[in-house]
């Protein structure tokens, strides 16, 4: 890498550092303290006059709770969709409230459970249950758990799947499942060179038993 390339890289890295700090609403002093440098040094990092070491960059991403790969990409954090405004959240909650009510009614009907039975088993009045199903009032989590218990439906059935909150929940769920994998499997998945094996495993998992048997027989013929 030439001196000119190093200078360009320092400038780009500085822009990404500043963007990350501003996006996370942190001051220069807070970030400087987090990585153990003076504010003037951190300001020089942002202006591209100096560049941080890898340990300093690692400490910064840990402090800001962002991905370190952010500094090897071309997109800034500010390019990401903005967080929901208060009015948007209020509308979203109202929509989800109606959707949950409709899903409860649907599951109750499918299971042939009457509102009267739910009222008897939960102690919630029939009129209140009807207002829940119509989405006219919010359902507290404990009451929702009781209603679903009577119907025989797991809470996960009602989790948001498609909205902005649902997308975030799905990503968190996927991350949690990945973290639950044994370390050797995590390392295998993270290696780009192993991607063809993962894609092959996905294709095999979607095959019928007969097709898998045919593939296995073909492999056996090759090895014999």
- With cut-offs at 50, 70 and 90, classify the pLDDT of residue 190: confident
The superfamily in CATH containing domain 86-158 is lambda repressor-like DNA-binding domains (1.10.260.40)
Query: Which is higher by pLDDT, 44 or 171?
Result: 44
Distance between CA atoms of 131 and 133, rounded to whole angstroms?
Answer: 5
pLDDT in tens, 6-41: 888 889 999 999 999 998 889 999 999 999 999 999
Could you tell me which residues come within 8 angstroms of residue 48 by beta carbon, excluding any fewer than 6 positions away? 7, 10, 11, 12, 13, 14, 15
What's the helix, strand, coil split of the chain in %, to 5? 75, 0, 25
pTM value is 0.52
Give the architecture (CATH level 2) of 3-79.
Orthogonal Bundle (1.10)
Could you tell me which residues come within 8 angstroms of residue 69 by beta carbon, excluding any fewer than 6 positions away? none
Distance between CA atoms of 122 and 140, rounded to whole angstroms?
Answer: 13
pLDDT in tens, 85-132: 656 778 888 888 899 999 999 999 999 999 999 999 999 999 999 999
Provide the residue ranges of all domains of the chain, joining segments of one domain with +: 3-79, 86-158, 182-223
| Neighbour count for residue 108 (Cβ, 10 Å) | 22
Identical fold between 3-79 and 86-158? yes
Per-residue confidence (pLDDT) for residue 79, from 0 to 100: 58
Per-residue confidence (pLDDT) for residue 78, from 0 to 100: 63
């Amino acid at each position: 890498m030439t001196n000119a390339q190093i200078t360009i890289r320092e400038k780009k890295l500085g822009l990404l550092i500043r963007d990350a700090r501003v996006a996370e609403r942190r001051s220069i002093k807070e970030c400087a303290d987090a990585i153990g440098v003076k504010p003037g040094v951190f300001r020089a990092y942002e202006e591209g006059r100096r560049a941080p070491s890898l340990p300093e960059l690692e400490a910064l991403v840990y402090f800001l709770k962002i991905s370190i790969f952010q500094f090897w990409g071309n997109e800034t954090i500010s390019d990401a969709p903005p967080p929901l405004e208060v009015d948007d959240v209020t509308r979203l909650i109202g929509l989800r409230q109606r959707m949950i009510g409709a899903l409860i009614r649907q599951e109750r009907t499918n299971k042939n459970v009457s509102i009267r039975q739910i009222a008897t088993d939960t102690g919630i009045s029939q009129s209140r249950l009807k207002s829940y199903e119509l989405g006219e009032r919010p359902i507290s989590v404990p009451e929702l758990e009781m209603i679903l218990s009577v119907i025989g439906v797991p809470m996960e059935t009602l989790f948001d799947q498609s909205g902005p909150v649902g997308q975030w929940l799905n990503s968190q769920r996927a991350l949690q499942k990945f973290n639950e994998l044994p370390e050797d499997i995590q390392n295998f998945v993270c290696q780009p060179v192993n991607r063809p094996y993962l894609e092959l495993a996905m294709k095999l998992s979607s095959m019928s038993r007969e097709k898998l048997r045919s593939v296995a027989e073909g492999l056996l013929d090759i090895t014999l």
